[in-house]
A and B are shown apart, each in its own frame.
Chain A
């Protein structure tokens, strides 16, 4: 426990030393903080309408103005962060867990199973993501769960492939051979010895994947096929902003900037994390 805590500290210090990493850390930290304490931060109820104050520009009372129903854009942006993370985190961790399991099975199991799983991964990857998402939404209808499912389904292959490659490399390493010759069970070899060596790489992938997921959620909500109104999602803000683009620029700005910031933050953090956790990866890409 003590050891892992100091390791975590070391990783964070390593990231903070890199200027881009530090920027990523600050941005992501702010977003996470705002998402957790959103209910206390927002100056207005994000779904409360106020017809007298429609489509106002930025002012002291409304830092980012108001929308066509007089709802405070700033409050909706803050709450939107919560929605974005609610989709991104379960989707990314779910995909990572399933991809890790399948990838390790593919790498360690019999050849036919490996071939089958790889074909499955290749097949999922052969759908253009948004097209696949649209097909699923058309079938089962738009909702937060649909978005999470689509994101998970489409990103499992990435984690699976990396986990498989890592497993294949480790499979013939000496400490695994030693463990096998002593009669360790497969579960023990995979769970105790291989897992810790694979999880780090996948964590880096996950950090870099979060922005893609946030963008996909926002994109689907923008098309009106993601989270349903009046839930304040960044994509929904952009949808309203697009409809009113000739009346006010502030909805597009208010919905667009947080997405760009979040993407930048997580990307910087992911890149920096990669360099700290595994400098070798930098070359592979």
Chain B
């Protein structure tokens, strides 16, 4: 297990290294003066000189890369030239808002998705199974930002059940402001997880230990909920790990639509003001988050199911 963990995290680090280097080279590969691009119309000679020194642009490219990485491992993503604050600080200030949103979305969609999937698998090929299958596909198909806009229109503007903008104050205020965005980005996951759990349930239901449990006369409800679901839930763990990336993407839209603070809002605002160091820093942090969560999901999976360790 330890061996697997070391190998898996080694791979994660390697991927992150390549990804960050690609991003670094991408900026240098864009035609034109990177300082000019980053500063845009607001470039003053003073700011230009400062940024050139900071990015070590007068040095050869490999030196620039070394300097960049030296700063990076110290948690230094550079200074926002306009406000003078550290990029790391700015990004980490916004990050919690996005993480709460993602957590809320995962929680409700996984709970409902597992429920629907398990129910459908326990009653395969009945009318209800078919209806849930059709609904699941439709949910999967609904793009998060369209759902966000439509739910904003219906539940916030017309019915006025939920607030339309901001993140709210205090526990209940925050929770109230989370409902619509979490609904919007979680909806497609309900369908996805339901289908996954149904397929995996049907497989598990045919396995020996379930048949044995039935043969012992344990009642059906207990067989389904305890003996089958426990194992059928495994793939969901992996999917949630990978899902972090998708949810991060959807969260960008939800934050814009509901005017919430967060990583997505920060990136979009920074693009409009052409504040490139912040865009770069946010993309880097969110990529790291995604890579780590995928690796963690693999680890949890390996811990729950020893067969997965051997397969890798």
Contact check: which of B37, B199, B253, B283 meets A219 at CB < 8 Å? B253
In the complex, the answer to whether A245 meets B290 with C-beta atoms within 8 Å is no
In the complex, the answer to whether B15 meets A122 with C-beta atoms within 8 Å is yes
Contact check: which of B140, B142, B158, B279 meets A135 at CB < 8 Å? B279
Rounded to whole angstroms, the CA-CA distance of A20 and B134 in the bound complex is 8
- Which residue in chain A gives the minimum CB-CB distance to B156? A245
In the complex, the answer to whether A126 meets B16 with C-beta atoms within 8 Å is yes
Contact check: which of B145, B199, B248 meets A222 at CB < 8 Å? B145
Rounded to whole angstroms, the CA-CA distance of A241 and B137 in the bound complex is 27
Q: Contacts A123-B22, A138-B276, A267-B140; is A129 near B249 (CB within 8 Å)?
A: yes
In the complex, the answer to whether A135 meets B22 with C-beta atoms within 8 Å is no
Rounded to whole angstroms, the CA-CA distance of A20 and B141 in the bound complex is 13
CB distance from B269 to the nearest CB of A (A): 11
Contact check: which of A135, A223, A263, A285 meets B283 at CB < 8 Å? A135
Give every chain A residue within 8 A of B16 (Cβ-Cβ): 126
Give every chain A residue within 8 A of B310 (Cβ-Cβ): none
Rounded to whole angstroms, the CA-CA distance of A169 and B311 in the bound complex is 16
Query: What sequence of 0s and 1s flags, for each residue 121-148 of chain A, a beta carbon within 8 Å of any chain B beta carbon?
Result: 0110111111110111111100000000
In the complex, the answer to whether A128 meets B146 with C-beta atoms within 8 Å is no
- Decide yes or no whether B161 CB sits under 8 A from chain A: no
Rounded to whole angstroms, the CA-CA distance of A125 and B293 in the bound complex is 13
Q: Contacts A126-B15, A222-B253, A267-B137; is A139 near B37 (CB within 8 Å)?
A: yes
- Which residue in chain A gives the minimum CB-CB distance to B285? A131
Give every chain B residue within 8 A of A285 (Cβ-Cβ): 199
Q: Which of B236-263 contact A (CB under 8 A)?
A: 245-246, 248-250, 252-253, 256-257
Give every chain B residue within 8 A of A91 (Cβ-Cβ): none
Give every chain B residue within 8 A of A140 (Cβ-Cβ): 30
Give every chain A residue within 8 A of B132 (Cβ-Cβ): none
Contact check: which of B22, B143, B267, B286 meets A259 at CB < 8 Å? B143
- Decide yes or no whether A276 CB sits under 8 A from chain B: no
Give every chain A residue within 8 A of B245 (Cβ-Cβ): 125-129
CB distance from B294 to the nearest CB of A (A): 8
- Decide yes or no whether A260 CB sits under 8 A from chain B: yes
In the complex, the answer to whether A267 meets B143 with C-beta atoms within 8 Å is no
- Decide yes or no whether A225 CB sits under 8 A from chain B: yes
In the complex, the answer to whether A119 meets B14 with C-beta atoms within 8 Å is yes
Q: Which of A39-63 contact B (CB under 8 A)?
A: none
- Decide yes or no whether A5 CB sits under 8 A from chain B: no
CB distance from B72 to the nearest CB of A (A): 16
A residues near B (Cβ < 8 Å) are 20, 119-120, 122-123, 125-132, 134-140, 211, 215, 218-219, 222-223, 225, 238, 241-242, 245-246, 249, 252-253, 256, 259-260, 263-264, 267-268, 271, 283, 285
**Complex A-B: 16 CB contacts under 8 Å:** A119-B15, A122-B11, A126-B291, A130-B249, A130-B253, A131-B286, A131-B287, A138-B270, A215-B145, A223-B256, A225-B271, A249-B153, A256-B150, A263-B142, A263-B143, A267-B137
Can you name 7 extra interface pairs (CB under 8 A) apart from A238-B146, A249-B153?
A123-B19, A127-B245, A128-B248, A130-B252, A131-B287, A264-B141, A271-B137
